[in-house]
Structure 1
Amino acid sequence: MIQLDVLIIGSGPIGIACALECNKQGWNYLVLEKGALTNSLFNYPLNMTFFSTSEKLEIDNVPFISNNPKPTRNEALEYYRRVTTSNQLNINLYEQVKSISKNKNYFEVDTSKDTYNSKHVIIATGFYDIPNLLKVPGEDLPKVFHYYKEAHPFTLQEVAIVGASNSSVDAALEIYRKGGHVTMIIRGDTIGERVKYWVRPDILNRIKEGSIKAYFNSEIKEIKETEITITTPNGIQTVANDFVVALTGYKPNFQFLKDAGVQFSEDEKHIPHYNPETMESNVEGLYLAGVICGGMETHKWFIENSRIHAKRIAKHIMDKIEAVTT
């Protein structure tokens, strides 16, 4: 069985930041990632532009040079890849963690390929793996997507976009400009206030002029092969439809955390218990980092405000090591 000082789950920007801190301390560590490097970023839409500027996406003071005021998905992938390879970080890709259990002073971590013993575990898995489902008849049809990659497959098609967040608005505008016929179904009475400030006027104008149809205060009731049924303030509406792109948000893998012993707040926010000064969860030696700390409040933590988590965790581990040796 492989023995480690620190095992990090997730190779996103925050997982990479944690690995950099372990590198500095000379600890025996390993990052495990079930998919590609920065897997969530890799699965973002091809033409996505970040809300943050490049300097706010930097980790460990490594400069992130972008040709644009706001960096793109491809620039971010290149940046984090270069940080990883230049620092020769210890990362195993395409190795999924199956379970975490604590045995006295060590965690036993079983994966799809091996078993590890580690003194400390850091979970930095983000929230992009489990979509919030609509829970309506027909959602399991192959025409329904909960992730959006690019507009080309939707050219000349009747496409329903569910949601009014940044991802929904970006998809609606891009599909419209690639020749798709877009209908937005929005639960609230307006486009989300958190939509990127340079994009929001664009979508509002397209809706106003009728280029993109929008049903506000509305929800999908049923999805069929060639149409969808919508509940609207004016009653039930039936709309011709070829594809549904339901970008209604995502949530962390709460069951994975629960199985590891992490406790949660009892309200709908479902925030995991951790010490904000050290990022240690209620399980001693098990740390949380990044977006996963927000529970259902997935808008609370971003790369730019959770980069500090890596340093807090490293300091706490070092303080514990020094306490034992003195």
Structure 2
Amino acid sequence: MSPPAHTDVSAPSAETSQPASLATRRVIPLRRPGRWIATVVVLLVLAQLVDGMVANPFFQWDRFVYWFLDPVVLEGLLITLYVTAASAVLALVGGTVLALARLSRNPVLQSVSWTYIWLFRSVPLIVVLLFLYNFSALYRTLSLGIPFGPELVTFGVTALATETVIAILGLTLHESAYAAEIVRAGILSVDQGQHEAAAALGIPRYRQFRRIVLPQALRSVIPNYVNLLISLVKSTSLVFYVSLLDLFGTVQSLGSTYPGDIVPLLLVATVWYVILTSIISVVQYYVERRFSRGAVRTLPPTPFQRLRNGFAGVRR
């Protein structure tokens, strides 16, 4: 009788060797030739544009460097910043009042707010500025008193209506109409159940708005209002037509004095406007990230975090 066959238990079976071979395989990423071709084409076009701007003597980059930090240009830049900041704050306050009036149950407040928003969204900004600039020709003096009765206080328009006041007032009146719709949309974006729950708890209406509605509405208001703020920065270039020498007005005035430097002066204004809007966009990103806490599970990474993660991936 023959002995039983010896079985080698150390030899791997087919079932145990298959997972090991799958684990040792290298994952090959999906080939995307179209993406690489598009990237090369875009880089070539950008390189061509940069070469065309740097090599073209018509841009006069030496004069651009000369005018970029010129004290006269910086003075116009400060006026732009001042007019923008004052108009942005006043427009937000006025827009909030108009939005609350339109959401009010009072038909008079609703009608007045709707008419204001309709009117100033229909009239171009340049028309508003020119009308205010010539307002003293229509009314020499303004007075406060009883309608169709005696005047209590009277003051001259010309003494108050300086170029800076006209610019800020015109921008505020115009932008308040757009800010009102932004604030109203933000308030309406809050779920109705929040209002009902607050009312059921007996919370006063002003406290409901300040502690419940407003914090949630800001998540919708801030991104849209920052877009309006960026538009406001560029709209300040129109105050040149009311004799206020802001950044654009200063560049136009210098271009008339130095006609050979018109192109570099326009480039100076362009670069400064790009810098201002870029700073506002960066602030917008961090403010939105701040107010998104509690609304998303994980906060989006900041640009520095993305850059650090990119370097870490390249190092690995």
TM-score by length of structure 1 reads 0.19
Greater helix fraction, Structure 1 or Structure 2 = 2
Q: Which has the higher strand share?
A: 1
TM-score by length of structure 2 reads: 0.19
Greater CA radius of gyration, 1 or 2? 2
